[in-house]
Structure 1
Amino acid sequence: MTRLSVNINKVATLRNARGGNNPSVVQVAKDIERFGAQGITVHPRPDERHITTKDVYDLKEVVTTEFNIEGYPDDRFMKILEEVRPDQATLVPDPPHVLTSNAGWDTVENEKSLTEIISSIKALGIRTSIFVNPNVEMVEGASKVGTDRIELYTEMYATGFLKEPSTAIADYKAAAQKAEALGIGINAGHDLDLNNLKYLVQEIPMMDEVSIGHALICDALYYGLENTIQLYLRELQ
């Protein structure tokens, strides 16, 4: 079964809108695990517009499933990894000003820098994953830089799924098959929801993990958090 890691950035966004600690990202993370999710994902951006640096350290003390920290690998991010030692670090290429991650790494152009960064992270005992577009060449490049996993950027899949699912999934299947052949684990994330998730994992059954935040938190407003986690887990079975 593909594992579900819940991105709790939007919980922090809601808290930050009023200040204080309501809702508590720590309590929500504990509840998400209690409700059956297999991981917690956060993306501590430099401007702290949702998850703060303090949140990351607080969460480290309570997360008992997989703790996945996303981010651009600048000095600040690398310091967090060194001190927190999450289970997984997911590297994204987006600079600090962007609203949300919106592209994968060019693993060919950035081969040298990614190789050095990933080597440093793996030396800390942290599994590495890098954000990539569904492109076989980029997957081959990912293999060369030494990453443990890739995270397929699924916005194009989610958009295309509304028109023709089989066309939307084609490049993702090819990329996943190449990754599997190269011995790289496969994660996925971005714009996945209750409508398009099942088809994704049915067509790519070797998927290790999906990271879902925005849609899941939106669904929780209607269905409740516990029920929503169960709905997403059901789609992954």
Structure 2
Amino acid sequence: MTKSTSLLNRLIEISSHYVMVSKVVQALQRHVLEFLDPQLQWKWVRSSPTYSILSVVQINRGFENLGKLSMYIRIMTDEVVVITKEFQQMKCGRDMKLVRNAIMLLTSNFMLNSLAILSKHYAWQILHANNNAFGESGAPSPTFYACNQSATKALFVQFPTDGKTPIVCMKLLDSQSTVEACAPNDLLPKNEEDMEYTQNNASQDTTNGFKKLIMKVCLNQKLLS
């Protein structure tokens, strides 16, 4: 038998779902305004009074050949669930901060994968690409570690999930050094004077974020020689 629902409970469920949908859309719009790259787009897959699904796609402008990030956001009356393309579910409840954190985490992983693909195109040797790394603040921060074919340059990139621009550090290795002897922590700047790339809040960066990152990573023919 079908469980009967009173009119009042039905109105409460519809109202609750409407509020959840409005908050999710506001969170996505805020993300688009704050982070211009990767570019975020979404469309409705299903929309009903008490159950809706959003399809969210992110791409790197100018690097569309590197693929895209796909995810789904399932909105119910009392819960929001972010679903990856591998069907892993991240339950966020009613907390929009958790929704933003989930999107930022997937975005950082997407940036890491995009950089790994682009590095292979330029014949860099990937030594370390960790999606499960954490930063000093305890927040997830995927890391990337690579060297060129001649082992004269070591590269370390960290992708924070707290909205900051990636940390990019390049170290030139002398003839007596080896990449194995240069740990990723050795590439991190010890103080502000040693920091080659200034960290700014991503919301203040109005340029193409991924393209700017690639320039920092020195993936161009001049510095690859």
Per the normalisation by structure 2, the TM-score is 0.28
Could you say which structure has the higher helix fraction?
1
Q: Which has the higher contact order (CA 8 A, sep 6+)?
A: 1
Could you say which structure has the higher strand fraction?
2
Work out which of the two has the higher radius of gyration on C-alpha atoms and give 1 or 2.
2
Per the normalisation by structure 1, the TM-score is 0.27
